[in-house]
């Protein structure tokens, strides 16, 4: 059995932790588990037989990214799968969102993912093989009030991934976007900032933001099941790996409804759309 090296960002909680625990128990996986504070990764000690590397990593710090990637390849000799999981949320109306807070969210959700990917691509190109799994969200497919800037980060991840996948397809490198709906992680709780509406016109959205906090850890999605699905797709379905993988019934329903509606609109506007071209 060929042992592959997986590097996961953000393994202290949520999807990253579930994936790390799942992979740590596999004989065919070398695991590089990263977090800003590695003392939060002691849960992995019971599984470690020399195949686990804990690495300090803040994805907004390019020096730490370079160090983590080098440590992975130095210890295990390859880097076969990157899971770009680290991410933050932000709830607030567009007009009232804190600019510094949402800029930092872009630094984590978008630029952190970009810099991690750039750091591993040379190794994967030299290997002529590699899989990069980018955590997007149902929020990268459909939009809801009070999440405008979070949507912006996930739509950026979707577009960047789609384009890059085409650029490196002939290098043996594949991509998969994970687009979950509500899962029992810390995303809606500890991992999200929330700005309560103060402008009267937006008070109708106050309940949306409050419910996001009180509903944390009661969502239908099971991150352990998600971890098993991701492992199975990467390990057993690499040849036909889907670029888009919504996880959860709500995510699947929203994705299908959104694209069916958009397809209908595009078809209805077909004649108007092509009328903008110069005559052939």
Active site amino acids: 136, 150, 154
Spatial CB neighbours of 148, under 8 Å, sequence gap ≥ 6: 93, 94, 97
Phi, psi dihedral angles at 182 (to 5 degrees): -70, 120
Whole-number Å distance between alpha carbons of 185 and 189: 8
Please check whether residue 125 is in contact with residue 228, taking contact to mean a CB–CB distance below 8 angstroms: no
Whole-number Å distance between alpha carbons of 93 and 113: 25
Where do we find the tokens 């991410």? 87
Q: How many residues does the chain have?
A: 280
Whole-number Å distance between alpha carbons of 76 and 72: 6
């Amino acid at each position: 059995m060929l042992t592959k090296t997986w590097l996961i960002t953000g393994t202290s909680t949520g999807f990253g932790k579930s994936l790390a625990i799942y992979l740590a128990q596999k004989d065919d996986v070398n695991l590089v588990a990263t977090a800003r504070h590695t003392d939060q990764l002691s849960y992995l000690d019971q599984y470690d037989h020399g195949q686990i590397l804990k690495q300090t990593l803040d994805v907004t710090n390019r020096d730490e990214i370079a160090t983590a990637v080098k440590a992975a390849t130095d210890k295990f000799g390859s880097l076969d799968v990157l899971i770009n999981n680290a991410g933050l949320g932000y709830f607030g109306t567009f007009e009232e969102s804190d600019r510094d807070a949402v800029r930092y969210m872009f630094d984590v959700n978008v630029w952190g993912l970009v810099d991690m990917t750039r750091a591993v691509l040379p190794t994967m190109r030299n290997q002529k093989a590699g899989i990069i799994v980018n955590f997007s969200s149902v929020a990268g497919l459909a939009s809801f009030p009070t999440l405008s800037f979070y949507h912006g980060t996930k739509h950026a991840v979707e577009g960047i991934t789609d384009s890059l996948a085409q650029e490196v397809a002939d290098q043996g490198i594949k991509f998969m976007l994970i687009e979950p709906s509500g899962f029992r992680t810390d995303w809606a709780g500890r991992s999200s900032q929330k700005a309560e509406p103060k402008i009267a016109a937006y008070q109708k959205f106050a309940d949306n933001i409050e419910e996001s906090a009180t509903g944390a850890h009661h969502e239908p999605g099971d991150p352990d099941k998600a971890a098993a699905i991701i492992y199975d797709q990467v390990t057993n379905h690499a040849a036909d790996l889907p670029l888009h993988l919504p996880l959860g019934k709500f995510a699947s329903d929203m994705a299908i409804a959104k694209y069916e509606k958009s397809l209908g609109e595009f078809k209805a506007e077909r004649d108007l759309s092509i009328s903008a071209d110069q005559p052939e």
